[in-house]
Amino acid sequence: MPETDHRAPRGRLAPPDLLSLEQYARQRADFRARVLAHKRARTLAVGPHTTWCFEDRLTVQYQVQEMLRAERIFEVDGIQDELDAYNPLIPDGTNLKVTLLIEYPDPAERAIALARLKGIEDRCYVEAAGQRSYAIADEDLDRENDEKTSAVHFLRFELGAEMRRAFHAGAPIAIGIDLPAYTHALSLGADSRAALAADLAP
């Protein structure tokens, strides 16, 4: 089982890293509790309607294990398909990977908001060392059309050496969105900064 502290290993998951369906059934409750604790510092609200979930190897393993369990997948090809789908969410040392959720509980309000927030995924940023890195969004497929954006996006933030050093040095870090229809920013607390620094090479 992977570590849940800030020293969790980087690198893509392979079939030997996963638990069998039987093993996962036995360990699921404890594993889920560990993952939820691990995700606390990695799940951040930016404004009232977006949540940024910073992914890493452990959060991705959890998603894969849950998908295998839900779909009762145990054959080698099926397992590899899930790994191929989810492994791109694991940061590789020079970037941060985020699942962006746009959240409006009321369906009618959500439909209006998603039309108003077209392009929001491209206006998300990480700010460190006086520099901003804007998101590279939805590399697997386009989640926006002519009428509206999607409620879920996958973002990659590439960070240069100076920005990465700021994370490791404990310098101020901000994340935010500067879309005119939704402009919000958040300064990272110490726990979140340390958690994300573990995703980044020195």
Neighbour count for residue 42 (Cβ, 10 Å): 21
Regarding pTM above 0.75, the answer is yes
Residue-range domain boundaries for the chain:
15-42+57-90, 46-55+91-202
**pLDDT, tens digit, 9 for 90 and up, residues 13-35:** 999 999 999 999 999 999 999 99
Q: Which of 99, 196, 117 is nearest to 154 (CA)?
A: 99
Under CATH, which number does the domain 46-55+91-202 receive? 2.60.40
Tokens describing residue 157: 């933030």
Q: Name the residue with tokens 């939704």.
A: 182
Q: Which amino acid type is present at position 2?
A: P
**pLDDT, tens digit, 9 for 90 and up, residues 76-132:** 999 999 999 999 999 999 999 999 999 999 999 999 999 999 999 999 999 999 999
First to last CA, the chain: 25
